[in-house]
Amino acid sequence: MTTNTSTASIRLSDEAVMPLRTLDPTGPLDDLEWLDQAIGDARVVAIGESAHYNGEFFQLRHRLLRYLVERHGFGAYAMESGFVEGQLIDHWVRGGEGRLGQVMANGTTSLMGLWTQMRTHVEWMRQHHRTASHSVGFYGIDMPGSMVSLLPGLDAVSAYLADADPEFRIDPRIRETAAVFAAMSAFSAPAAIPAYGNVADECRDALTAGLADLMARMTSRRLDYLRLTTADAYERALRALNITVTLDAMFRELSRGNPQGMMLNREATIADTVEWILRREDRIVLAAHNGHVQRWPTTLPGMPPSTTMGMHLADRLGKDYLVIGTTSANGQTLNTAPDFYTGKLFTELEPAPRSGSLDALMAASHDGPFATDLRRLSPADATTVRAVSQQRFGTFYSGLSPLEAFDVIVHLPHVTPAGADQAALAHAPREVQEAFSQWKPA
């Protein structure tokens, strides 16, 4: 074994390293058999990523999903993407009609469906539905409208109430106010947030009150609604409304200058959505950023530590929640600087991870992709991991205790941008198409 010489003095033992032969989702799966012992009877297996839109992270999640479905009967894939929009992909993977490019563009949020590796992932789910004894459902867990528009959630609730409560009319001022700051893509946040700030206080208060009235109506009339609609339709509409209420609260926190409050609202609600899925599915593969799935507070630059979705799920599910975190050594990662919005989608990682980070430890331990089960380390390896106090998220570092945050770590030595899916991009908003046209892959 060769090692990264800059950090070779601090590394895991060979016994802790479980090499992965490939990231190809179509390849043999025997090198993943360590998962059998690692997952046990867990009902939710969360797979993190250090940053969005890297091709290798998409491939890893696809490959792990395939193993967990084929070997352990997992029946749902839940992803950090809009809950409301995700129903479109779920319909398609279960055999529904539609062009996949359009389904990917409109069935995901925050650019998640605009990549060729995601296309391969979704195509596999549909093929599995055709040939296997059980389907794998697709679920989004996040806010609608790429977290900058209440309209998808409001429209979903309105469509449901047209069947369940046909004499009722939602106060048109709710949608009118939401439309003022509505923006339907991940590139719209710089415009949507100040637009919300320009809405008069009384209008913002009326929007929040109107959403609360809608929630009271839907919950108090549940039995009446179930006589006219299915339980599934009611539950989906109520979940969509819950998420929309949270998105409104997130905007209110931002307007108060409290981004941590915004994050706390989001994390608790996406945890609620995972629990909602668990009432429908026996076992779930959950894909999201490391900062969401970890059982440890996330620290973003300039902000105090914040409770994560993973902490909520660990508290509620105990041993039924298992977390696979990820690290990387070098390559390109998502650009989080303002010029992201002008087409610089990715930026270079530093040549080697910072000394003392989990990424540096993993990079020093093995040259290829590998996994290590943190719960089955030797005493010496456990001591080595305890000395780590931070992990890289994209281009910055966040403090954490790896042994408490994760159960398993998968290390990918080199990460690169995913491939842009032209068929999906053709159905994306114009501003997204323009930004991608400015992107020059390395």
Q: How many CB atoms lie within 10 A of CB 73?
A: 13
Last residue of a domain, one of 229, 245, 266: 266
Mean pLDDT of the 261-285 span: 97
Least confident of 52-56, 175-179, 438-442: 438-442
Q: Is residue 434 domain-resident?
A: yes
Give the residue from 266, 293, 309 where a domain finishes.
266
Q: Is residue 9 part of a domain?
A: no
Residue 4 has pLDDT above 70, yes or no: no
Residues 309 and 279 in one domain: yes
Range of 391's domain?
14-145+269-438
pLDDT beyond 90 at 189: no
| CATH at residue 434 | 3.40.1660.10
Compute the distance between CA of residue 347 and CA of residue 352 in angstroms, rounded to an integer. Answer: 14
pLDDT tens figures, 332-344: 999 998 899 888 9
Distance (Å, rounded) from C-alpha 46 to C-alpha 61? 10
Task: Give residue-wise pLDDT tens across range 151-183.
Answer: 999 999 999 999 999 999 999 999 999 999 987
Residue 211 lies in a domain: yes
The two structure tokens encoding residue 355: 């000394």
What is the per-residue pLDDT across 114-146, written as a single tens digit (0 to 9) for each?
999 999 999 999 999 999 988 899 999 999 998
Rounded Cα distance, 323 and 376, in Å = 14
Tell whether 5 is covered by a domain. no
Tell me whether residue 6 is in a domain: no
179 shares a domain with 108: no
**Which residues fall within 8 angstroms of residue 402, CB to CB, at 6 or more apart?**
325, 358, 374, 385, 388, 391, 409
Res. 221: pLDDT tops 60: yes
Predicted confidence (pLDDT) at residue 9 exceeds the cutoff of 90: no
Q: Do residues 242 and 286 both lie within one domain?
A: no
Together in a domain, 257 and 392: no
User: Residue 355 pLDDT > 50, yes or no?
Assistant: yes
